[in-house]
Amino acid sequence: MAKLILLRHLQSQWNLENKFTGWIDIPLSKQGIKSAKEVAEKLRDLKIDKVYTSPLIRNKETVSLILEHLNKVKEDKSSFPPFAVARVKDVPVIIDKALDERNYGKLQGLNKDRVKKQCGEAKVRLWRRSWNVAPPGGESLKDVSKRTLPFFKKYIEKDLREGKNVLIVASHNSLRALVKYLEKISCKDVIDLEIATGAIREYEFDKNLRLKSKRS
């Protein structure tokens, strides 16, 4: 049976500062980097055949740190730039923008609490968590799904059918789009779906891609 492991990136600097990040390329915080070892230990007993992630640095940094703690990087790292996927040994890492976070439009870089005070908590919750309401100038979760799901079905489902164990390291809303699809969450109920930084969700499929078990 094939396993799919979803991992939201570790805490970024703007997660720490409570800012809307979206497509702004913000690195991990010191706490995020520190937490990598603990998160990696949760994956220690899982065989990982392939990794997918996005070009955003917080996702690539998470991949690099996790694989480093799992001893899946080349021993001589001096010739490689920080967090380059070329460091990885044995495990192919595929990087694609389909797995990027949603574009938060005009909210990017703004403090979340201040936006709530200005616009109201209910409206901000719709922008952040609902299915089809987009933040000003940004993407809705439905929009994110239109790029994330075709990529998943074309490439990752193929790997799963071949019996490969796949790790996806991505951002909150690209993962929410995938979880909605995998767990058949309704457009109404997805507003309650949240995935913490560093959180792991694990799915097991049979050869026909029928979901056999899930764990989070």
Domain ranges of the chain: 2-215
Catalytic residue among 61, 101, 139, 202: 101
Active site residue 101: yes
Length of the chain: 216
Catalytic residue among 9, 61, 172, 202: 9
Q: Is 56 within 8 Å of 173 (Cβ atoms)?
A: no
Tens-digit pLDDT profile for the chain (216 aa)? Answer: 899 999 999 999 999 999 999 999 999 999 999 999 999 999 999 999 999 999 999 999 999 999 999 987 654 444 344 444 444 567 899 999 999 999 999 999 999 999 999 999 999 999 999 999 999 999 999 999 999 999 999 999 999 999 999 999 999 999 999 999 999 999 999 999 999 999 999 999 998 899 989 888
Distance from C-alpha of 48 to C-alpha of 92, rounded to nearest angstrom: 10
- Homologous superfamily of the 2-215 domain (CATH): Phosphoglycerate mutase-like (3.40.50.1240)
Q: pTM of the predicted model, to two decimals?
A: 0.92
Count of beta carbons in the 10 Å neighbourhood of residue 77: 14
Active site residue 172: no
